[in-house]
């Protein structure tokens, strides 16, 4: 784990909205604890990306906000968000983990309205990942072109404006590992 203030390993923009990628913010032992915990969690197939894709639900487990704030990943997230948007204080309003595997349908969506100033902090929770397994997150322009990609990697964090259209892609057939993405949704703190 890096003891210095976080710095993005890569930055990009889609439709003038920022995306930053961070690595090595969590110790391997904490990452393993989270992966083991999600391996034993009671996921429900209860969410869909958009109203028009309701028939294609995906797996999720919601994390109570108080529990999320007590996890080591919370402070690591806030440190990265401070690098992403210096001078703004953020409030977490939702925390959850998605699970996907080969054959799942994951659709493009946004996490907030275009006029909202909300962030998504998306973590890949795995102890290993092979690039041949797929599972990337794609970020799309308003015209529908994929303009940025984030590949899964153990403990990788992607911070982005929630109004950017994006989609996780399920792992390929050769991947026997689950694709866990742990998300924290953040909004500017008031007062």
Rg for the chain, CA atoms, rounded: 16
**pLDDT value for 191:** 56
Could you tell me which residues come within 8 angstroms of residue 128 by beta carbon, excluding any fewer than 6 positions away? Answer: 154, 177
The token pair that represents 24 in the structure block: 């090595």
CATH no., domain 10-188: 2.60.120.620
Give me the long-range contacts of 4-9 (CB less than 8 A, separation at least 24). Answer: 5/79, 5/82, 5/83, 6/76, 6/79, 6/80, 6/83, 7/83, 8/80, 8/83, 8/84
**pLDDT value for 43:** 72
d(CA 85, CA 64): 25
**pLDDT value for 53:** 67
Residue 80, SS3 per DSSP: helix
**pLDDT value for 61:** 85
Q: Is the pTM of this model over 0.85?
A: yes
In the block, residue with structure tokens 């959850």? 96
d(CA 181, CA 95): 11
**pLDDT value for 113:** 82
Residue ranges of the domains in the chain? 10-188
What does pLDDT average to in each consecutive run of 10 residues of the chain (191 residues)? Answer: 75 96 95 85 67 69 92 94 94 89 70 89 94 94 96 96 92 87 92 56
d(CA 104, CA 45): 11
Could you tell me which residues come within 8 angstroms of residue 87 by beta carbon, excluding any fewer than 6 positions away? Answer: none
């Amino acid at each position: 784990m890096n003891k210095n203030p976080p710095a993005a390993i890569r930055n990009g923009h889609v439709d003038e909205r920022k995306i930053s990628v961070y690595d090595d913010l969590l110790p391997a032992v904490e990452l393993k604890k989270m992966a083991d915990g999600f391996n034993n969690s009671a996921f429900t197939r209860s969410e869909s990306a958009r109203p028009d894709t309701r028939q294609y639900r995906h797996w999720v487990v919601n994390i109570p906000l108080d529990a999320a704030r007590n996890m080591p990943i919370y402070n690591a997230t806030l440190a990265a968000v401070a690098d992403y948007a210096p001078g703004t204080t953020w409030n977490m309003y939702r925390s959850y983990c998605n699970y996907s595997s080969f054959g799942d349908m994951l659709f493009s969506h946004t996490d907030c309205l275009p006029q909202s100033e909300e962030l998504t902090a998306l973590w890949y929770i795995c102890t290993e990942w092979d690039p041949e397994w797929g599972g990337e997150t794609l970020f799309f322009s308003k015209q529908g072109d994929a303009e940025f990609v984030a590949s899964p990697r153990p403990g990788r964090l992607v911070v982005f404006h929630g109004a950017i259209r994006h989609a996780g892609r399920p792992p390929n057939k050769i991947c026997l590992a689950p694709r866990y993405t742990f998300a924290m949704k953040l909004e500017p703190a008031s007062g």
